[in-house]
Structure 1
Amino acid sequence: MDLIRHLECFVAVAEESHFGRAAARLGMAQPPLSQRVQRLERELEVRLFDRTSRQVTITKAGLLLLPEARELIARSEALLAAARRIRDGDSGLLRAGLPPDIAGDTVAALLTGFQERCSGVELELHELSTTDQLARLAAHELDVGLIHHPCDVTGLELGPVFRRDLGVLLPREAEAARSAEVPLSALAGFDLILFPRADAPVLHDDLLTTCARGGYQPPAVRHGQGASFVRGLVLSGGAVAFGSRDAQPAGPDADLVWRPLAGTPLAWRHSVAWPPGHGDTAVRAFSDAVTHALGTTTDARPDTPTRPMHLRPAAEYWL
């Protein structure tokens, strides 16, 4: 049984309250329409209409099922429309994820670059953690995303990996702020402001493991991501935060300084990710726009990772 076609017959009769008018609306004869409605009733095991020689009245069961039928028809039409756009190489809408640490200048450059490359496609950006992006990609609620590594990339296709070396944002009066480069061990005694572990578990544990190996084990880890919130915590004097060079304070700042880490032990690693077989024109345009935006607004550079880019069985560092 063609469920959608039978539902269209049900909805037409329900809205017209007349088999003849419904048949004319659907461009078919009345007997086949009646037969389809009757078959749908048998399949659903409910009576949808009370019929007399003079009128057709929708039943209570029919009224309850009518909204569901309309929704299924609408979703079917949306699916067919999306399939046509994909077949033609233009999906019309690209749902993309970006991590919260991407700076505003980079987002602006990305939007401009994407429109130059793919002007006929609407780019719908979502600020999402790597964990949320992976979940939405798996659920087909996202078409493409810029994710942090390492993470579980099983079943995804990846674009080039880019690296942004991390420095430290710390109070100006801190002794470590007097150095041109700050070794991790010089941060001893400071709490660390870090994104919640649930946002990117492997990256979170990797970062803390590297800190521990470098002689820095923060007394406490405070969770924060918004630039203003993080700056407020650092201004309290008892905490530091890691960030790339583009995250340093704009203009003179009397209270905070950004310093590179000695030996560049920490970095954000990004790549664009998408489900297999979904690398159409719009996805490629997004990947190219991300590459250009990172290259022009940050100090990101192509990276050939020597460490695993996937979820490992167990983390080395636990709080």
Structure 2
Amino acid sequence: MDLFGHVRCFVAVAEERHFGRAAARLGMAQPPLSQRVQRLEKELGVRLFERTSRSVTLTPGGALLLDQARALLAGTDTFLAAARRIRDGRTGLLRAALPSGTAAEPVAAILAGLHHRQPGLEIELHELSTAEQLARIAAHELDAGLVHHPCDTTGLALGPVLRRELGVLLPPDSPLAARADVPLSALTGHDLVLFPRKDAPALYDELLTTCARGGYTPATVRHGQGDRFVRGLLHSVRAVAFAPPDLPYPAGGSGPDIVWRPLTGAPLAIRFSTAWPQDRAGAAVTAFADTVLDVLRDTPGVSADLPPSPLHLRPASEYWL
């Protein structure tokens, strides 16, 4: 039995004191309305109305149940309205993640954009590596994220892939700092500072493979992510690191003790996109994907990855072909 529908019929008849008017109010014919009320009385074991040819009045039992019936309908309407808001992304919880080291400005802009798009949405934002994001998405602990490619995208839907070129960070006293741009092969003899491989194994392997193809195979790969830690390694162990043009210093410019220079031919880039489970897309996830895209495509050095290339899984990694 459709309890909600039958109770709505009961309340309409009780308030109208007339089956014909109640049927018109509900947009249905009178015979089905009468049948629903009779069915409800049978299921409850309570006679709800006294009926005569001229009037319809509540029985004592019907009068006692009317307030509870109204409360049931109000609670159900509230429940359904909340469900619709969650379905439409206008309220509820979005669990999302951005990569480790994302700058403060884009984080703030993404949060502001989400609040503008979905004012009632509660946002639980995490800082996670690509590997951690993929694991949490697979475990249904994360609704969406921003991942670095290449990575295993099985079962995921992806937003547009963006590309951000990488340059090289050097100590200001390095002879390479005098160049307008630096070929990869010129980095021979320098150690390389990279993020830990576990954070994005396929990207890590791809960067090293591209370096080797460009004539640079570092004798030692050191791991670090924090700006101060990386700066210390660059000065103390004759190392270099790769970074986008505005991190940590403006393109072609110098900070207190670090110089950024572009790589000749722009051989290295970070590719990234939003990602979410193919079977769990919704308005909140769409708002996250659209907001991240709007913010990041306006970031210096970011462009669309054109022409789009498919990801091909290889035994130890994935590569863009």
**What is the TM-score with the length of structure 1 in the denominator?**
0.69
Alignment coverage as a number of residue pairs:
238
Q: 1:27 is matched with which residue?
A: none
* Superposition pairs of residues 76-91 of structure 1, within 5 angstroms: 86-90=86-90
- Structure with greater Cα Rg: 2
Equivalent in the alignment of 1:303: 305
- CA offsets 1:267-296 (integer angstroms, 9 cap, x no match): 000000001132211111111111121123
Contact 2:157 2:276 in 1 (8 A): yes
Matching residue of 1:60: none
Give the C-alpha shift of residue 86 in structure 1: 3.9
In the other structure, the counterpart of 2:176 is: 176
Q: Secondary structure at the match of 2:166?
A: strand
Q: Contact 1:224–1:230 at 8 Å: present in 2 too?
A: yes
Q: What SS is found at the alignment partner of 2:233?
A: helix
Indicate the RMSD between aligned Cα atoms, in angstroms. Answer: 2.4
Contact 1:248–1:257 (8 Å) recurs in 2: no
Aligned residue in 2 for 1:283: 285
Seen in structure 2, the aligned counterparts of structure 1 residues 238 and 106 have a Cα distance that, compared at 3 Å, is: same
- Percent identical among aligned pairs is 62
For 1:232 and 1:282, how far apart are their aligned partners in 2?
Answer: 41
1:254, distance to aligned residue in structure 2 (A): 3.5
Unaligned runs of 5+ in 1: 1-79
Matched, 1:248 2:248: yes
Partner of 1:26: none
Deviations 1:216-269 (A, max 9, x none): 111101111112211221132511110111213268524210011111101000
Contact persistence 2:95–2:123 (CA under 8 A):
yes
Mapped contact 1:209–1:316 kept (Cα < 8 A): no
> Kindly tell me: are residues 82 and 278 of structure 1, through their superposed partners in 2, closer, same or farther at Cα, counting changes over 3 Å?
farther
Question: C-alpha separation between the residues in 2 aligned to 1:81 and 1:196?
Answer: 46
**Partners of 2:109 and 2:82 in 1: CA distance:** 28
Aligned to 1:147: 147
Q: Once the 2 structures are TM-superposed, how far is the Cα of residue 91 of structure 1 from its aligned partner?
A: 5.1
Structure 2 spans left out of the alignment, 5+ residues: 1-79
Please name the residue that 2:165 is paired with. Answer: 165
2:116 match: secondary structure: helix
Q: Distance in 2 between matches of 1:271 and 1:158?
A: 6
Q: Residues 308 and 189 (structure 1 numbering): CA distance in 2 closer, same or farther, change over 3 Å?
A: farther
Map 1:1-319 → 2, pairs under 5 A: 86-90=86-90, 92-236=92-236, 238-249=238-249, 253-304=255-306, 308-315=310-317
Kept in 2, the 8 Å contact 1:234–1:240? The answer is yes
In structure 2, do the counterparts of structure 1 residues 298 and 316 end up closer, same or farther at CA, with 3 Å as the change threshold? closer
Contact kept in structure 2, 1:151 and 1:310, CA below 8 Å: no
Please give the TM-score of this superposition, normalised by the length of structure 2.
0.69
Deviations 1:117-144 (A, max 9, x none): 1121122111111010000000000000
Amino acid at match of 2:181: E
Q: What letter matches 2:202 in structure 1?
A: V
Structure 1 residue 95, shift from structure 2 partner: 0.8
Deviations 1:25-60 (A, max 9, x none): xxxxxxxxxxxxxxxxxxxxxxxxxxxxxxxxxxxx
What is the deviation of 1:85? Answer: 5.4
Report what 2:9 is aligned to.
Answer: none
Deviations 1:198-220 (A, max 9, x none): 11111111100000010111110
Distance 2:273 2:134 in 1: 13
Distance 1:263 1:215, change over 3 A: same
